[in-house]
Amino acid sequence: MVVLSQEDRLTGNFRWFIFLLAASLFSGCGRGSNEVILYTSQDQVFVEPLLKKFQADSGIIVRSVFDNESVKTVSLVNRLHAEKGNPQCDLFWNNESFRSFQLAQEGLVDPRYPVKTFGFRTRRIVVHDPPPAGFEIPSSFRDLTNKSYFGKIGFAYPIYGTTGTHFLALRQQWGTNAWLQWCQALQANKPFIVDGNSAVVRLVASGEIWLGMTDSDDIASAREEHVPVKGLPLSVDSLRIPNSIAHIAGARHVENAEKLALFLQLPETIAALQEAHALEKEGQGTTGLSSPPDFQLMLADLKTATEQMLQLFKK
């Protein structure tokens, strides 16, 4: 039997204490930690009730970082780029999907968990309800270059968010030359270029503009508050916009992130988002949508298209 001196015992106890402390600190920031860090471009008013339910059911604490309306999605994407090599985010819940696939292409998404999409919104033309006297209802986004809409059109700055994704998708659908001609004619109509889709809806409601490009959830929220606007039926130039989930490469709380990701994709979670008008229900709208865009082709063309839009649509 080995007999330890009092000094040895004290030294051993101290070492054991240090080991336990280190283990505790490691588990607090690693996989065993009882939290998950969520970055999300989904509107905070829709997100918080769901996260409260997830926390109550799972016991996992969700720490959320939200985006900025004027640079929808892109601010969080830029933040994720800045944190590459020392990621602070575990899960990115994006209320569109193009930028999530961009992150995957750039190696910021954990390859064990491919980007998942769920639910959808649509890009719509919003008009005052009722429309002004003599107002000609456009049948598609192509019609927004009609001179009768001069100075009466609005949309969010098309470098960011769903407006940016929609413009890129139209470029792919129509071809570069036709798209450039449309953009030039649209800019010649002196549009209001504003910070965010909700601002477009407010301008239409006030009568300052007659019509605008926006998202279905912004129209639905406005109508819920009895704002005098309505969305036009879907056209072949409309875009279906799914939400997406991306697991960030090098994340610290992988297992908790997967639990949250699965929760967000549950039918009852999607139903709650639909009831809150954050997502649309299947069957809403009356006409067909364009075919889904090829994100890989859009990503290959992103730099050129963005540079052209920066020149065309100077704020």
Per-residue three-class SS string for the chain = CCCCCHHHHHHHHHHHHHHHHHHHHHHHHCCCCCEEEEEECCCHHHHHHHHHHHHHHHCCEEEEEECCHHHCCHHHHHHHHHCCCCCCCCEEEECCCHHHHHHHHCCCECCCCCCEEEEEEEEEEEEECCCCCCCCCCCCHHHHHCHHHCCCEEEECCCCHHHHHHHHHHHHHHCHHHHHHHHHHHHHCCCEEECCHHHHHHHHHHCCCCEEEEEHHHHHHHHHCCCCEEECCCCCCCCEEEEEEEEECCCCCHHHHHHHHHHHCCHHHHHHHHHCCCCCCCCCCCCCCCCCCCHHHHHHHHHHHHHHHHHHCCC
pLDDT-above-70 percentage for the chain: 85
Q: What average pLDDT does range 277-305 have in this prediction?
A: 82
Predicted confidence band of residue 75 (pLDDT cuts 50, 70, 90): confident
What is the structure's pLDDT at 14? 39
pLDDT digits (tens, 9 = 90+) for 198-237: 999 999 999 999 999 999 999 999 999 999 999 999 998 9
Q: What average pLDDT does range 271-279 have in this prediction?
A: 95
Task: State the span(s) of the chain assigned CATH 3.40.190.10.
Answer: 33-119+240-275, 122-239+287-312
Residue 117 above 90 pLDDT?
yes
Q: In the CATH scheme, what is the homologous superfamily, with its name and number, of domain 122-239+287-312? A: Periplasmic binding protein-like II (3.40.190.10)
pLDDT digits (tens, 9 = 90+) for 34-74: 999 999 999 999 999 999 999 999 999 999 999 865 455 57
CATH of region 33-119+240-275, choose from 3.40.50.300, 3.40.190.10, 3.30.70.260, 1.10.3210.10: 3.40.190.10
Predicted confidence band of residue 295 (pLDDT cuts 50, 70, 90): very high
pTM, entire model? 0.84
Predicted confidence band of residue 315 (pLDDT cuts 50, 70, 90): low
Q: What average pLDDT does range 105-127 have in this prediction?
A: 96
Q: What average pLDDT does range 156-164 have in this prediction?
A: 92
Residue 24 above 60 pLDDT?
no
